[in-house]
Structure 1
Amino acid sequence: MNPADVAQAVPVAHELSFFGLFWQAHFIVKLVMLGLLAASVWCWAIIIDKTLLYSRSKRAMDRFEDVFWSGQSLEELYRSLQSRPATGLAAVFVAAMREWKRSFEGSGRSFQSLPQRIDKVLDVTIQREVERLNSRLTVLASIGSAGPYIGLFGTVVGIMNSFTSIAASKNTSLAVVAPGIAEALFATAIGLFAAIPAVLAYNKLQSEVGKLQTRLEGFADEFSAILSRQIDERIGGHAGHHPANAA
């Protein structure tokens, strides 16, 4: 190999490096790559945030259930929770107790429709909590479905550049074609790099939301049954104005 061939080989190796492929890519391909990398960072931020959120929610639900089933007065538990923001099971409990107290402390005490009102409040609260848990998960679904196609768009542009280089140089050697093809495949790889974790994380996080929703609905059914029994006792003439305890 003569010195001219050696000198020519060095730039080619530089062009086929990751940074070389990016800097020498068409500006549209650069935008695609930067957009996909930003989407990947966004996905991982959501994944980490949601993983920590669901872990905190599970621990909070465990702590609340321990207190709720300990036999503590529901009135005392409500007073300790009503003055601070509540989420999860605590939010379901506070919403139902607030409706209970409004019905008994109001001027017109309508007990016949109270169970239906409590169930409605519980459903709305659960829906609100599930929406909070599901927030931004659609971003993962969107990136997971659109990422490969965005990368494919960069691939098409890169291959078009390759054909343009062939036409301009009238040379079909690999040295002319390889950089454009490599940048095209690099755009596809980045698209898959963003999409695959997004899809896997979306399925996993949706499963976690489903488990948390099941716990919320199960607690709501149990608490609604407790309040319904106490409503029946009130209608039957038993004394008292507040639910006594969870037992």
Structure 2
Amino acid sequence: MGGELSDQNGLDATAEPSSYRAVDAETYFRPSCLPVLNTAIESFFFNPYIDRPWKSIHLPQSLTLAPEKTLLHYFSILREAENLTDEKAGGCGTVGQARIPFPLAYAFFSPACRKKHSYKAFLASFEGIGQTHLIKLNQLEGLRYFVEIETIQGSNQNVTFFAYYHGIVQLEKHNGRFLIERITWYGEDFCVPLTICGSTMQKPALISNLAAGASLLKKGGPSGRMVMSKQLILTGQTAVITVLSIFSSRMVQTC
């Protein structure tokens, strides 16, 4: 980056005096201007579940009585779950609720989903993640939902960073409860808008394939909120402009 990189232990907090003033911590803590939606679980909720394996956990039925309640409670439980490692490290000491929430979150999966994904694989999928914020939740059709999350992830360079993912969640009703049948995630690469113009302006076929197959988003509805685009057919330079416009709106919405 053009200078010397030092860890934060080298900062001298007394070098420059400052006066205290009350601020909203999230103003500086998060790059996204979107509110955090997964706030339905308080920290004391985890007390009875400390050190309990997932097989012995029975979720309160109230957490899964409605589809959106299931998703809000699932992501609320995961909000302060962390699976940082030596190679993907962050924080100082215990971060959030550590790994206590993961068995609880796994209990939101349907029996069929748990057959496909073991708890070990479920836990490994969170490797390097220190916190998870749900910032978008929209129903698509039936029990299918569009979600977007903001994560704080560790690294081996004495820094942590924010990474964003959007995904599709399919729920199913099982014994009167709404459980998660499947989640498919797509990572968000904010360098894509910077490279499309230079490297693909002369490749309209590539742009058409990108637009047709990449689950892009567009603004829709009177509220202007982001919704899933079911079909997008583009050709030539119009495709480049349209795709750039979509990515630009995504970045404005997220940053």
**Same-fold status (TM-score > 0.5):** no
Higher relative contact order (CA 8 A, sep 6+): 1
State the TM-score, normalized to the length of structure 2: 0.20
Larger proportion of strand = 2
The structure with the larger Rg is 1
TM-score normalised to structure 1 length: 0.21
